């Protein structure tokens, strides 16, 4: 499935804010190697490079389209198109950063200890943010539609369900590093018709639409838009307030 950087970047400010706030919680004065795992179009990777101009900064993403956009817009960073489940660093990593990526991957019980093992002993930092909105209407509505309707078998399977584990699990998987965790709900003001639909088709609903033909895709879109309009009504000014929660963790050592 190809990703569309331009569609994703329509909401760059909303998508970037959690990543910037995660970045601000990283405590490292002079890293030699900084890796952005799941860098997307590279906007946040470029900020990592600005923060640590003496570091070698590497952006990794499995999407060739995202890497192409990143390489074009941010030529000062090293970009690698690779499967982030299989990629491994050549040397210990001083700062390992991953914003809104790891929830796409399975088996966190294996993955998170593996990520921690890449860190420079005693001083390395891993900083991770993942969406944690799975029980909200944003995610519940498409799940209910696909589970109750007549759809191609692959469509329901393509919808990402809750893959996050309990915070205490992540803490255990990242130890013996010192782990700081928190959860933030962002109240995002979206503009335009079908704003919530537009937000989600740039991320979690994209695989579902890729699994549907044009007719089923239109039918799915109509049902989602109708139910999103009820769950997230427009304000008097025509905008929509979308609460969206995210789980953060920073592990050091």
Instruction: Give the pLDDT confidence of 209-230 residue by residue, as tens digits.
Output: 999 999 999 999 999 999 999 9
Residue 53: alpha-carbon gap to chain centroid = 25
Residue 135 has pLDDT above 50, yes or no: yes
Report if pTM > 0.85.
Answer: yes
**Average pLDDT estimate for 196-211:** 91
Residue 8 has pLDDT above 50, yes or no: no
**Average pLDDT estimate for 46-53:** 95
CA angle 202–154–208, rounded 5-degree value: 10
Q: What is the pLDDT of residues 85-121, one digit of tens each?
A: 999 999 999 999 999 999 999 999 999 999 999 999 9
pLDDT at 153: 84
**Average pLDDT estimate for 156-178:** 94
Grouping H, G, I as helix, E, B as strand and the rest as coil, residue 140 is: helix
Lowest mean pLDDT among 18-32, 45-59, 92-106, 152-166: 152-166
* b/e burial code for range 152-184 (CB count within 10 A of at least 16 → b): eeebbebbbeeeeeeeeebbebbeebebeeeee
Residue 37: alpha-carbon gap to chain centroid = 10
Mean pLDDT of the chain: 91
Going from the N-terminus, what domains does the chain have, and what CATH number goes with each?
Answer: 5-252 (3.40.50.150)
Give how far Cα 177 sits from Cα of 28, 39, 47, 105, 129, Å. Answer: 14, 24, 25, 22, 17
Beta-bridge partners for 185: 245
Residue 103: name the closest of 253, 210, 250, 248 by CA: 248
């Amino acid at each position: 499935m190809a990703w569309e950087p331009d569609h994703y970047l329509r909401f760059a400010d909303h998508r970037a804010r959690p990543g910037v706030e995660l970045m601000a919680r990283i405590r490292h004065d002079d890293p030699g190697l900084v890796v952005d795992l799941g860098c997307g179009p590279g906007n946040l990777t470029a900020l990592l490079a600005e923060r640590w101009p003496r570091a070698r900064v590497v952006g990794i993403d499995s999407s060739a389209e995202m890497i192409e956009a990143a390489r074009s817009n941010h030529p000062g960073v090293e970009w690698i198109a690779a499967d982030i489940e299989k990629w491994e660093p050549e040397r210990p990593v001083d700062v390992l950063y991953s914003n809104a990526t790891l929830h796409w991957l399975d088996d966190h019980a294996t993955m998170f200890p593996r990520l921690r093992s890449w860190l420079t002993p005693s001083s390395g930092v891993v900083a991770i943010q993942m969406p944690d909105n799975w029980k909200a209407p944003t995610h519940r509505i498409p799940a209910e539609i696909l589970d109750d309707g007549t759809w191609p078998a692959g469509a329901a399977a393509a919808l990402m369900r809750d893959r996050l584990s309990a915070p205490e699990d992540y803490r255990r998987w990242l130890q013996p590093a010192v782990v700081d965790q928190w959860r933030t709900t962002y109240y995002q003001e979206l503009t335009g018709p079908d704003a919530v639909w537009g937000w989600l088709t740039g991320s979690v609903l994209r695989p579902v639409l890729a699994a549907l033909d044009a007719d089923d895709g239109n039918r799915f879109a109509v049902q989602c838009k109708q139910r999103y309009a009820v769950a997230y009504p427009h304000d008097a000014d025509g905008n929509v307030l979308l609460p969206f929660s995210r789980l953060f963790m920073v592990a050091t050592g």
